[in-house]
Amino acid sequence: MGYELKMRVWRGDQSGGDLGDYTVEVSEGEVVLDALHRLQATQAGDLAVRWNCKAGKCGSCSAEINGRPRLLCMTRLSDFEPTETITVTPMRSFPVIRDLVTDVSYNYEKARELPGVELGPRDPDGKRRMMQVDVERGQEFRKCIECFLCQNTCHVVRDHEDNKPAFAGPRFFLRYAELDMHPLDTRDRRSAARETAGLGMCNITKCCTEVCPEGIRITDNAIIPMKERIVDRKYDPLVWLGAKIGLRNKDDDGRTEA
Amino acid sequence: MTESTHDRHPMTGNEMSPSAAGGIERHQYDVVVIGAGGAGLRAAIAAQEAGARTAIVCKSLLGKAHTVMAEGGIAAAMGNRWPEDNWEVHFRDTMRGGKMLNNWRMAQLHAQEAPERVMELEDWGALFDRTEDGLISQRDFGGHKYARLAHVGDRTGLEMIRTLQQRAFQLGIDVFMECTVTELLKDADGNGRIAGAFGYWRETGRFVVFEAPSVVLATGGIGKSFKVTSNSWEYTGDGHALALRAGASLINMEFVQFHPTGMVWPPSVKGLLVTESVRGDGGVLKNAEGKRFMFDYIPEYFKAETADTVEEADRWYDDKKNNRRPPELLPRDEVARAINSEIKAGRGSPHGGIYLDIASRRTPEFIRKRLPSMYHQFKELADVDITAEPMEIGPTCHYVMGGVEVDPDTELSAVPGLYAVGECSGGMHGSNRLGGNSLSDLLVFGRRAGAAAASYSDGLGGSRPAIAEQDVKAAEQSALAPFEVEGGENPYTIQQDLQQSMNDLVGIIREGAELERSLAEIEAFKERASRMKVEGHRQYNPGWHLSIDLRNMLIVSEAIAKAALAREESRGGHTRNDFPGPDPVWGSKNLVVTLNADGTGVELTEKPLPEMPDELKKYFE
C-alpha cells in the first residue's frame, strides 16, 4: 500500500551540486523511476532524468541507487524497507550534465571507432545459412541494451579518466567478441581488439558482469575468450611458426586481418 | 554544457558554432531525418548511400527510440518455413487486416520488398534466429496466414535498431542526439518548399537551425496522448503536428490500435506491451471462469479461416495445411474488442484484465527460450513467473494507423521536400495494422523515402530554398513563451488531464456524444496550455520540453477525435457503439485532416480511396 518515501536525489550540474532531500508518496508495485517522476510532476518540474521505455529494454535510465549502478526502471521499491531512505546519484564515471543526466558521449565516440561486420557473398539462392547453435554465442552479446552501466563500473576508467582514450570498455569488447564469433564474418579482429580497443588493460575483475541488467556474462563469455585468442596469436610459438609456413588455426579459416 | 570550451558538440562531434548570429547554431545538409527509430535510420542510410549529406536529429540518445521495444518480429514473405508463402499472400493478409482501407500500392510495395530488406539487415550483421536448415526463422502472428515474422527471441526491435545504428555509424552519418525539432522552416520565396528545421538541444536549451531542402519525418506515433499506452514519452505526435503546420495533410487519424495484451499490474507498468508472440507461440486467452472465450468472438469476415473448436485450433500449430488458425490469432482490433467485452461483462481478472496463459501449454524451457524478455519483464516487474502461472493483461494504446498522407512510391507529402515514413505516415495499414508489419514498413518505406529525398535535393542544383530569418525568430519566441508566463499552470497537469480524457472519451469503444465532449475538452486544454508556465532554466529541463511537446499532442488529439466523430461506422481500430457495423460507403473513402485557416485547429475533408487495379482485385474474390 501507499507510503511516504524518503529520497535523496543529487541535484546540480558540472559546476557542482548536492543531495536534495525529498518526501514523495509512492504505492505498491512501483519502481524508483516512478518515484522520481512523481517528484518531477509535483515538486521539482525541472528535475533532469533520462528515460524511455520504462521496461528495461532501452537502457536510458542508468544511475546509482544507494551507490549501486542500476536501471531506475527495474529497481523496485519493494527491494527496500519503507522506512529506508533511497539515495539516487548520477553515474560516476561520466561527466554530469544536470541532476541524474550524464554526458555519455564517450560511449558513442568509441562506437564510431568500431569495425563493422564483413560477410562474404550470399548463397546462390540469395540466402545465408547459419546454424542456431552458432549464432547463439553472438546473440548473447547482442542482448546488450547499451545502458553503459558496465562502462560506468569498470575500474579501468571509473577512477582513471586518463585511460579513456585507449580503452573501449566492456560494452565494446562485447562487439569485438560478437564479430569474432560471427559464423560468416571474414575478418580477424584480434589485433584491433588489442591495439585499438585496449582489451589488454582489462584485469578480469568481473564488475561489468555483476552490474549487467541483461545478465550477459561479459567477462566469461566475451572478454576471456577474446583475451585467450589474442594471447594465442601473440605468444604461442607454434601458432607463430604455423602462420609463417602457411598453416592456419581452423578457427580463423577464411578470415583476414581487419 | 561545454559550448564555451569546445567547438564540437561532445555528444555528436558536430560543430557548435556558438558565435553564429543570434547565438543560434546552424548546419547545412542535403537531407535531414527527424527521428532515429527503424524508419529514420533506414531513411538516413539510403540517403547517405545515395550520396546526400545526411543528418539524423532525435529526441533521445541514439538506439533508444521506440523501435527498440518491438518484440515479435519483422513480417516478410521469405518462405523459409512455408514455401507456399509469397508477396501476394502477404499483400492479401495486410489488406484484409486493414479492412481494405489500406493504400493498395503501399501494401503491395511493402509485401514485395520486405524480404530483401530483412536480408539486408543480415548482411549488416543482424543475427536472426534460424530454422533447422540454417535459414532465418519465421514465427506465427495474428492475421498472417503463414509463419512469416523474422525474429530474434522476443527482442527483434533491439536487433533491428542496433544493426541500423551500427550501419549508420559505419557510413559516417551525423547524428544530433537529444535534439528536438519544434518547427519546419519553408522557403523564404513563399513557394511552399521545405527549407529546413528549427530545434533545440535538450542538454543546453540552445537553439539550432538545419538548412536542408529535404526533410524526412520519422517521429513515430501519438500514444502519449492516452493514459494507458505501451508508448514512451517521445510519442507525442511531433511529426504529425509538424507536417500539419507545414501545410501537409494527414489521413486515417481515427484509426488507433489498442494492442490486446498490455500489462495491467502493477499500476506503474500498466499498458506495458506483452508481445503477440506469446499467442503466436501457443498462448491462449481465458476469462475468470477459465474459458477460452475467443471462440465466441469470431467475426463473419474471418469465419472461413478461423478454427471454431479447441481441438482444431490446437492442431494448427503443427499442421497448418489441414487446420484453421486459432481465434486468439485474429487481427489485433478483433482480439482487443473481445477482451474489452469480457472485462465489461464482469469476467475479468482481479486487476481488471483477463488471463493470457502459456504456462499450461508449453514447457518452461520453451517459454524461456522463445520469450526471454517477457519472462524477465514479468519476473522483475510483477513477481509473476510466466512459465508457472498465467499473465494478467488488457488492451493498451499501441499504434496509430493514421499519419501524413504520402505518395506511395516516394513517401513525399503535399509539401515539396517533406517526406514521412513509419508510424507518422498514413495509408499503409488502412484501419488496422497487422503485428509484424510495422518493422517491415519502417525498412521498406524508410529506404524509399531516403532515396527519394536524396534524389530531390540532388536535382535542385543551384536553386536551393533559403530560410526566412523572421521564421527563425518566430520559432524561437514560440519555444520560449512558457518561460514568460506569470502564474500559469504546470504542463504535467494538463498532460495528465488530456491523457485521461482521451482514454475515457476517444478510447477503444467510442460514441458520438463522448467524442463531442472530448472535442470540447480539447479546446479547454488548448486554452489552458496557452497559459502554461515552466520553472527553472533552459538546461535539460523536462518541464519545458513537455510544454513544447504538449502543443503537438493537443493538435493531434483533436485530429483523432474529429475524424472519429465524422466516421459513422465501425472498422478496424475505430469502433463506434452508435454505429456498430462497417458501412460500405465509408469503406470507399478516407478522411483527410488539414490545419484550419487561422492555424488554431484542424478541419476534415473526405477523399475517395485510390482504386486497386484489376490484377490485384483478383486476390479478394
Residues A30 and A94 in one domain: yes
Predicted pLDDT at B8: 47
Percent of chain A with pLDDT over 70: 91
**One fold for both B262-395 and B474-577?**
no
pLDDT of B13 over the 70 cut: no
Together in a domain, A115 and A52: no
- CB A143 to CB B136 under 8 A? no
Better-predicted residue by pLDDT, B5 or B62? B62
Q: Is A143 in Cβ contact with B64 (below 8 Å)? A: no
Q: State the pLDDT at residue A96.
A: 95
CB contacts, 8 Å: A41 with chain B: 490, 492-493, 496
For B359, other C-beta atoms within 10 Å of its C-beta total 18
Q: Say yes or no for a CB contact (<8 Å) between B544 and A46.
A: yes
Residues A98 and A109 grouped into a single domain: no
Q: Which residues in chain B have Cβ-Cβ distances shorter than 8 Å to A122?
A: 119, 123
For residue B116, the one-letter residue type is E
Averaged pLDDT for residues B85-104: 98
Q: Bridge-partner residues for A3, per DSSP? A: A26
What's the whole-number average pLDDT of chain B? Answer: 94
Q: Please state the domain extents for chain B.
A: 262-395, 474-577
**Tens of pLDDT, residues A48-89:** 999 999 999 999 999 999 999 999 999 999 999 999 999 999
Q: Does A58 sit within 8 Å of B539, measured CB to CB?
A: no
> Is A208 found in the same domain as A117?
yes
Whether residue A115 sits in one domain with residue A78: no
pLDDT bracket for residue A191 (50, 70, 90): confident
Query: Does the pLDDT value for residue A95 go beyond 60?
Result: yes
Same domain, A138 and A82: no
Res. B614: pLDDT tops 70:
yes
Number of domains making up chain A: 2
What average pLDDT does range B318-331 have in this prediction?
93
Model confidence pLDDT, tens digit, residues B450-497:
999 999 999 999 899 999 999 999 999 999 999 988 888 999 999 999
Residue B604 backbone class (left: φ over 0; alpha: ψ -120 to 50; beta: rest): beta
Q: Is pLDDT at B555 greater than 80 in this prediction?
A: yes
What class is the B474-577 domain?
mainly alpha
- Which residues of B are known catalytic residues? 259, 279
Give chain A positions within 8 Å (CB) of B205. Answer: none
For residues B166-196, one letter each, b for 16 or more C-beta atoms within 10 angstroms of the residue's C-beta and e for the rest, the string is bbbbbeebbbbbbbbbbbbbbbeeeeebbbb
CB atoms within 10 A of CB B401: 28
Question: Which of A102, A128, A145 is the endpoint of a domain?
Answer: A102
Is the pLDDT at B371 greater than 90? The verdict is: yes
Question: CA–CA distance from B382 to each of A29, B103, B267, B286, B415 (Å)?
Answer: 7, 41, 10, 19, 47
What residues contact B190, with CB distance under 8 A and at least 6 apart?
none
Single residue among A74, A102, A130 that ends a domain in this structure? A102
Task: Find residues 60-89 of chain A whose CB sits inside 8 Å of chain B.
Answer: 60, 74, 76
* CA distances (Å), origin B492, targets B179, B222, B351, B506: 21, 17, 26, 20
Please answer yes or no on whether A45 and B136 come within 8 Å at the CB atom.
no
Nearest to B592 by CA among B400, B401, B403, B399: B403
pLDDT at residue B140 above 70?
yes
In three-state form (DSSP H/G/I as H, E/B as E, the rest C), the secondary structure along B422-474 is HHHEECCCCCCCCCCHHHHHHHHHHHHHHHHHHHHHHHCCCCCCCECHHHHHH
Residues 6+ apart with CB under 8 A from B381: A29, A31, A55, A74, A76, B263, B266, B269, B272
Nearest to A9 by CA among A41, A44, A51, A55: A44
B373–chain A Cβ distance below 8 A for any pair: yes
pLDDT for residue A237: 61
pLDDT single digits (tens) A34-43: 999 999 989 9
d(CA B266, CA B545): 28
Q: Is the pLDDT score of B6 beyond 60?
A: no
Q: Tell me the residue range of the domain where A7 lies.
A: 3-102
Which residue, among B274, B533, B540, B547, would best test binding to A if mutated, counting the most A CBs under 10 Å from its CB? B540
Distance from CA of residue A223 to its chain's centroid?
A: 13
HEC string for B308-340: CCHHHHHHHCCCCCCCCECHHHCCHHHHHHHHH
- Partners of B400 in the β-ladder: B256
Cα(B244)–Cα(B601) distance, integer angstroms: 10
Same structural domain, A90 and A61: yes
Let me know: does B226 contact B236? Beta carbons within 8 Å: no
The answer to whether B247 and B64 have CB atoms below 8 angstroms apart is no
| Domain's final residue, options A47, A78, A102 | A102
Alpha carbons within 13 angstroms on the beta-carbon side of residue A208 total 30
Which residue type sits at A95?
A: P
Collapsing DSSP to helix, strand or coil, A46 comes out as coil
Question: Which of A54 and B15 is assigned the larger pLDDT?
Answer: A54
Residues whose CB is less than 8 angstroms from the CB of residue A44 and which lie 6 or more positions away in sequence, other chains included = A11, A20, A22
Alpha-carbon distance values, B309 to B298, B326, B581 (Å): 11, 8, 26
CA dist., res. A171 & res. A194, Å (int):
15
| Reported pTM | 0.94
Contact flag B267-A50 (C-beta cutoff 8 Å): no
Span A193-210, pLDDT tens digits:
888 899 999 999 999 999
Give the whole-angstrom CA distance, residue A243 versus residue B61.
Answer: 44
Same-domain check for residues A113 and A224: yes
Instruction: State whether A131 and A238 are in the same domain.
Output: yes
In this predicted structure, what is the pLDDT of residue B3? 37
A104 CA: distance to closest CA in chain B (Å): 7
User: At B497, which amino acid appears?
Assistant: D
The three cell numbers locating residue B474: 518566430
| pLDDT of B15 strictly over 90 | no
Distance of CA B14 to the CA centre of its chain: 29
The CA–CA distances, whole Å, from B330 to A131, A144, B297, B398 equal 32, 33, 10, 17
B377 interfacial to chain A (CB closer than 8 Å): yes
A153/A90 same-domain check: no
Does the pLDDT at position B2 exceed 50? Answer: no
Distance from C-alpha of B32 to C-alpha of B54, rounded to nearest angstrom: 6
Nearest in space to A100 (alpha carbons), one of A15, A19, A214: A19
Please provide the DSSP assignment of A88-107 as one string: EE--TTS-EEETTEE--HHH
Whether the CB of A14 is below 8 Å from some CB of chain B: the reply is yes
Query: With 80 as the cut, is the pLDDT of residue A178 above it?
Result: yes
Second-level CATH architecture of B262-395: Alpha-Beta Complex (3.90)
Q: pLDDT class for B11, splitting at 50, 70, 90? A: very low
Q: Tens digits of per-residue pLDDT, B390-405?
A: 999 999 999 999 999 9
User: Does A125 touch chain B if contact means CB atoms closer than 8 Å?
Assistant: no
Cβ-defined contact of B129 to A132 (cutoff 8 Å): yes
In this structure, the answer to whether residues A33 and A153 fall within a common structural domain is no
* Residues B431, B258 contacting (CB under 8 angstroms): no
Per-residue pLDDT reduced to its tens digit, A129-141: 999 999 999 999 9
Q: Which amino acid is at B94?
A: T
Residue B167 and residue A116: Cβ atoms within 8 Å?
A: yes
Q: Are B549 and B199 in contact (CB under 8 A)?
A: no
The DSSP element (H or E) to which B576 belongs, if any, is none
Residue B223 — φ and ψ, nearest 5°?
Answer: -55, -25
Option in B62, B136, B541 nearest A46 (CB): B541
Predicted confidence band of residue B18 (pLDDT cuts 50, 70, 90):
very low
Of the candidates A27, A31, A54, which has its C-beta nearest B232's C-beta? A54
Residue in A28, A46, A146 nearest the CB of B543: A46
Return the closest-CA partner of residue B341 out of B350, B351, B331, B354: B354
One domain, residues A97 and A122: no
Whether B68 and A57 lie within 8 Å, measured CB to CB? yes
In A166-246, DSSP assigns E strands to 187-188
Distances (CA, A) of B361 to B355, B385, B391: 13, 14, 13
Over residues B73-98, the mean pLDDT reads: 97
| A95 contact partners, CB below 8 Å, separation of at least 6 | A14, A102, A103, B1
* Strand ranges across the sheet with B602-608: B425-426, B403-405, B250-251, B589-595, B602-608
**Rounded mean pLDDT, A231-237:** 64
Contact between B401 and B431 (Cβ < 8 Å): yes
Instruction: Please identify among residues 531-550 of chain B the ones whose CB lies closer than 8 Å to any CB of chain A.
Output: 534-537, 539-544
Kindly report, residue by residue over B246-287, the tens digit of the pLDDT: 999 999 999 999 999 999 998 888 999 999 999 999 999 999
Q: What is the pLDDT of residue B19?
A: 47
